[in-house]
Amino acid sequence: MIGKSHHYGVTVSNMDDALEFYRDTLGMEELDQLSFASEEFSKFVGVEDVDVELVFLDANGCAVELLEYNHPPGDDANDGVSNNDVGAAHFCLEVDNLDSVYDDLRSEGVEFINPPQTLDNGAEVAYMYDPDGNVVELLSE
Please tell me the pTM assigned to this model.
0.90
- Tell me: do 13 and 63 sit in the same domain: yes
Q: What is the pLDDT of residue 125?
A: 97
Q: What is the mean pLDDT of residues 71-96?
A: 89
Q: What is the pLDDT of residue 18?
A: 97
Q: What is the pLDDT of residue 2?
A: 81
Q: What is the pLDDT of residue 61?
A: 85
Full domain range(s) for residue 110: 90-140
Q: What is the pLDDT of residue 43?
A: 87
Report the domain count for the chain.
Answer: 2
Q: Is residue 118 part of a domain?
A: yes
- Tell me: do 101 and 62 sit in the same domain: no
Concatenated DSSP letters for 32-70? EEEEE-SHHHHHHHT-TT-EEEEEEEESSSSEEEEEEEE
Q: Is residue 11 part of a domain?
A: yes
Q: Is residue 66 part of a domain?
A: yes
Tens of pLDDT, residue by residue over 28-47, are 999 999 998 888 878 888 88
- Tell me: do 21 and 58 sit in the same domain: yes
